[in-house]
A and B are shown apart, each in its own frame.
Chain A
Amino acid sequence: MARQFTFADPGEGIHEAEVVEVNVSPGDHVEEGDPVLVVETDKAETELPSPYTGQVQDIPVSEGDTVEVDDVLVVFADDDDEAPADGDEATERDTTDGDGEPGEMAEAGAARTTAEAEDAPTEPEGTDEDDEDAEDDDEGGKAAAVGELPTEEPHAEHPSDERPEPGSERAGSAGGPVPASPATRRLARERGIDLTRIEGSGPHGRVTSQDVEDAAEQEPDTRDDEGARPQRDEGARPQRDERAPERPELPDFEQWGPIERVRLRSIRRTTARRVAVSWREIPQVTHHDVVDVTALERWRREHSAQVEDAGGELSLMVLVTKALAGVLSRHPRFNASLDLDAEEIVLKHHYHIGLAVDTDDGLIVPVIRDVDRKPLIGLATEISGLIGRVRAREVQGEELTGGTFTVTNVGPLGGDGFTPLIRHPEVAILGMGQARLEQVVTGDLDAHRTVVQLRLPLSLTYDHRVVDGADAARFIGDLGSAIADPGALLLNT
């Protein structure tokens, strides 16, 4: 008789969910616990593991469907219809072997001592050996073991009230770690067994080493989130060229003329990697505006000698940086990071502003700590000193970490707007263009006049997952007002 996997009440007053992912197709063989669907409720996205081992016959739902409690999600084939599981598993194992690059494995083994190679089999070898052992040990081999499974009602041994719902964690420990001794946990890692999927036979549901061995015989590898776990180290040996992501091949440029190749090193390489991460990970949008800095510039000139005496330079960037501390405190989501795993926005109650500095070797971003707490003269001297030390390559470690927001200023070189890239995992970056004298028409349609203002172009790139366009417009507006009136700026920050 065909078995049906139905959508169970997820609790918390939710009775329906949207299917966002279907991970199996009719004809697939799935093991109990394999994730088959991902559904999304108002509260969360949840992976639904299969309650059965068997062959998928039909999937009445498709991606985008809304399902209600008791709707059928997956229909499993009648026991007798299932293709021999051995065949399926053999195929899976072959795939694993293919990834393992046998040549390199042999080399790795040779590099180590014999005793150690036996102790620490590389993963694909280990899986094979374990499987063979399992078959040798239990006379009937796999076919017999799998043949028994369908006759077994899943969780039949549980009283109905304790029966775990599909999608729930294992019965027993409520949310906490699975009770198991350190040695048992080590064994589970070795055998590739996910402890959360084992029913502990020990007192109060404690998982014993025997439980892990039994599970390893039945289901060779229950870990389904290999990506989230540390990849096993294949042993101490160089591992170059293995992580190159897929990218189109380059043509032979020399066919069109002479070329020169320069190594991507040090800062250039770091920058290349970081901007690629930013570009790949952050859906970012840039908001452009121009603000009036006429009064600010007058004020700056009036006081720059005083700051110079103290050993600093009172630049436009220093003033903007100082103003940012106040603006960020009023717009906390711009001084934040997104924690996707936890589905949380991390709001930072500290204001460490990174300043992009152009050096002979490339771009370096030192971080000024607690900008909100530093008086302007101190800030100006610190920034001047820091930039000097950055250019002399004397800044490392802590002074380059912990930024919460970044400012990049190409103004001295020109430019009336650009699209700076956010420094992951920050949420926003402010670009400053060149302040220029411009004619501006003020007033309304009927009464207006033309004035000359010093106008500073600003480009604010923000992470659209955390803030929206309107937030960015308000942020720039606030920043514009803050620096329009230098007196107020100093009083308010």
Chain B
Amino acid sequence: MADDTPDQTQLLIVGAGPGGYAAAFRAADLGLSVTLVYDDDRVGGVCLLRGCIPSKALLEITELKLLAREAASRGLSFGDPELDLSRMRDWKDEVVHQLVGGLEGLMKRRNIDVIPARARFRSSNEVILDDGGNGGERRLGFDRAIIATGSHPQPLPDIAFSERILDSSGALALGDVPERLLVIGGGYVGLELGSVYAALGSAVTLVEMTDALLPTADPDLVEPLAEQVGERFDAVHLGVSVTGLREDDGRVEAAFDGDEPPASTSYDRVLIAIGRRPNLDGLGLEDTEVEIDADGSITVDEARRTTDPNIYAVGDVTGGQQLAHEAFHEGIVAAEAIAGRPAAFDARAVPAVVYTDPQLAWCGLSEQDAAAQEREVEIVRFPWRASGRALTLGSDRGMTKLVTEPGTGRLLGVGIVGRRAESLITEGVLAVEMGAVLEDLARSIAPHPTLSETLHEAAQLGIGSPLHLPPKG
């Protein structure tokens, strides 16, 4: 019977987010025949559809509102801003729409076979595709597969997401502007979306279980951000966890545990942003040799190969920092490895960016990581109040920080807090990846006046002779 013979593809990719499409594009460019299967409304993954891109669109507009207010003290006043929530939503959706269209075009140009369906592994060489009823189930054989199914927001135990208890996707849908919003989790998602709603007019209360916001970043970099957030949010409570949420008559009643819990327990909306969990359910991995780590993510080696020699995995589903740009590179590595190239994910400086105001970005070795590894490092900090450009931008609370190897001055890590840190960090990434030393940076000329000078002045400070600060003592 013809139906018994499954279709066959050289490379199957499951998931069309950053990891999946990067792998698909690279593999296609290397001459492999690629089938991309995804289970979502459109291609692009969480990043494009319900994550990085829509959140940045909203942050950009809401930051404009804050800047307009600040401008008043510098001699330019606008009237009270008016919110048109539906236009804002439309604009955000237009941005996403345009990018999705672009991706679809690129897939077509590369002759990638794109199939909207749910894939379930049947063996190390075959999946079953289920398109949700239209065409029924069909089998697809593959030589190699890449799992790039991403992650989903982690719920609080025993609490389901709802119209009032939101995950990040729900918050980005921008249904309305709640009067009182409780944000659970002081990571980047909670801070970014909390900032959006605070700027739109919500009274935002943030609770974080640990004793610091953004615990993976160095505390001295977090501090200016924490100060700003403290001013814009209604309240920030550290060391407080939520023990229960109950929906009651249009409100959500929260129960807290901790030394200094919020005074109010009643909110219009709650945003839960306590992390993301790998999407593994229904993949049928038990019928392959793929193994799962103790933390619930897929185990891979540095070429991104799982314990099943035919199956690779990239992106959030393998844990790690769960960043889109990390997934891009993992996807590229997996595609190259499958094409027989000696590829490995060996990045030394994966940048992380928090798009709050001020922005926070860091890469490579942090000061607290060095301390945890008992590794000796030298730290240079350049305060932005000595930067002319920072003052013209009204961003004098920023700081640029270099983590270097004693003796050689080799750059091991860079951290930046302040406006536009998202773009400044890339120079730090390049320096760390290239094995640059302080003098390399100090002797490269930065345009004046720019914020990028802070990196160069920090390096000059590191070798003893900064231009806009007293010499190192």
Contacts and interface: CB of A to CB of B under 8 A. Distances in A.
Interface stretch (B71-79, B174-182, B338-346): B338-346
B116 to A, nearest CB: 21
A92 interface: no
Contact of B305 (A192, A233, A266, A425): A233
Residue with the highest number of chain B CB atoms closer than 10 Å, among A113, A396, A397: A397
B287 A266 contact: yes
Interface in A137-184: 172-177, 179-182
Given A179-B410, A397-B280, A120 B11 contact: no
B11 to A, nearest CB: 6
Given A122-B340, A175-B375, A203 B296 contact: no
B125 A203 contact: no
Interface stretch (A234-242, A245-253, A471-479): A234-242
A396 B344 contact: no
Nearest to B144: A236
Q: What size tier do the contact residues of chain A reach?
A: 35 or more
A120 B303 CA distance: 15
Nearest to A185: B346
Given A189-B344, A238-B143, A369-B157, A176 B31 contact: no
Interface string A69-111: 0000000000000000000000000000000000000001001
A124 interface: no
B114 interface: no
Nearest to A181: B434
B435 A236 contact: no
Contact of A204 (B287, B296, B410): B410
A226 interface: no
B30 interface: yes
Interface in B224-278: 277-278
Contacts of B344: 189, 229-230
Interface string A436-468: 000000000000000000000000000000000
A475 to B, nearest CB: 21
Interface in B288-345: 289, 292-296, 301-303, 305, 309-310, 337-344
A203 B282 contact: no
Interface string B1-23: 00000000011000000000000
Contacts of A266: 286-287
B32 interface: yes
A116 B30 contact: yes
Given A189-B342, A230-B302, A239-B309, A402 B435 contact: no
Contacts of A190: 341-342
B212 interface: no
Contact of B303 (A205, A230, A243): A230
A115 B11 contact: no
Contacts, number: 138
Contacts of B433: 181-182
Contacts of A112: 31-32, 339-340
Contacts of B422: none
A270 B286 contact: yes
B296 A398 contact: yes
Contacts of B223: none
A280 interface: no
Contacts of B292: 401
Contacts of A349: none
A273 interface: yes
Contacts of A202: 435
The binding surface of chain A is classed by DSSP as: loop
B281 interface: yes
Contacts of A121: 340
A183 B343 CA distance: 11
Interface string B383-414: 00000000000000000000001011110100
Contacts of A116: 30-31, 339-340
A115 B31 CA distance: 9
B437 interface: yes
B348 interface: yes
A177 B348 contact: yes
Interface in B104-121: none
B277 A236 contact: no
Nearest to A115: B31
B287 A397 contact: no
Contacts of B380: none
Interface in B413-456: 433-435, 437, 440
A116 B292 CA distance: 33
B143 A237 contact: yes
B283 interface: yes
Contacts of A239: 309-310
Contacts of A115: 31
| Residue among B296, B342, B434 with the highest chain A CB neighbour number at 10 A | B342
A11 to B, nearest CB: 16
A235 B341 CA distance: 8
Contacts of B309: 239, 242-243
B410 A232 contact: no
B369 to A, nearest CB: 12
Interface in A350-404: 369-370, 396-398, 400-402
List 9 A-B pairs, minimum CB-CB distance, nearest first: A179-B435, A120-B340, A230-B303, A397-B281, A397-B280, A189-B342, A235-B340, A230-B301, A113-B31
16 contacts: A122-B340, A181-B435, A186-B342, A189-B342, A203-B437, A229-B301, A229-B344, A230-B337, A233-B337, A235-B338, A235-B339, A236-B10, A236-B32, A236-B339, A265-B287, A425-B294
Interface of A: 108, 111-113, 115-116, 119-122, 172-177, 179-182, 185-186, 189-190, 192, 202-206, 229-240, 242-243, 265-267, 269-270, 273, 337, 369-370, 396-398, 400-402, 425
Given A233-B338, A234-B340, 6 more contacts: A119-B30, A176-B375, A190-B342, A202-B435, A240-B125, A266-B286
